Amino acid sequence: MTDQKYQDSKDLIYEELRLALATQRRQAESLETKASVLIGFAGAVLALLIGARQTLAGLDWSSKVPLLVGVILFVLSLAFLYRAYGVRKMYIVPDPLELPNYLSMPLEELRRMIIEERREAWRKNTPVIKRSARHLKVAFVIQSIGLLSVAIALLFVILFKAQAGP
């Protein structure tokens, strides 16, 4: 009975670690997806502003300053986004290339080894994911402020145009 309980515990730990690592991989993929969306958004805003540079050149300084601040913030956000999106090493166990080396290993020993390797992979992957999440949050805040700054610049344009009349 005790051996069966011990085996059940190992099975549970083995499965929980497998599921936890799969969750980690999904978290990393989700962060990369969000980062790529924000990179695309920053690129679209910057492309629109570059396309309108002739119009923007004629703006007065009350509109140019917040517009310039917005552009700088969008460019700055790209640095953080590339840190979040960049290639990083994620530990996956067991290493598929190593599996043939385990053919002669007793099942209990193999299971124990995989459990330990999965624990170690979780430990190594966690800081990488947390760092990417922090970079993504910082980039989102920077882009939000940049977008607000661009919106203020456009508001100034509308207000000053309305004051100047037709």
pLDDT of residue 142: 97
pLDDT of residue 43: 93
12-25 pLDDT, tens per residue?
888 898 899 899 99
pLDDT of residue 98: 83
pLDDT of residue 35: 93
> Which range marks the domain in which residue 155 is found?
2-164
Tokens standing for 12?
A: 């549970």
What is the C-alpha radius of gyration for the chain, rounded to an integer number of angstroms? Answer: 26
> Which residue positions in the chain have pLDDT lower than 70?
1-7, 162-166
Q: For residues 37 and 26, what is the distance between their CA atoms, to the nearest angstrom? A: 16
pLDDT of residue 53: 81
Query: Number of structural domains, the chain?
Result: 1
pLDDT of residue 164: 62
pLDDT of residue 139: 96
CA 24 to each of CA 8, 49, 105, 138, 147: distance values in angstroms, whole numbers, following the listed order:
24, 38, 28, 21, 31
pLDDT of residue 38: 95
pLDDT of residue 89: 79
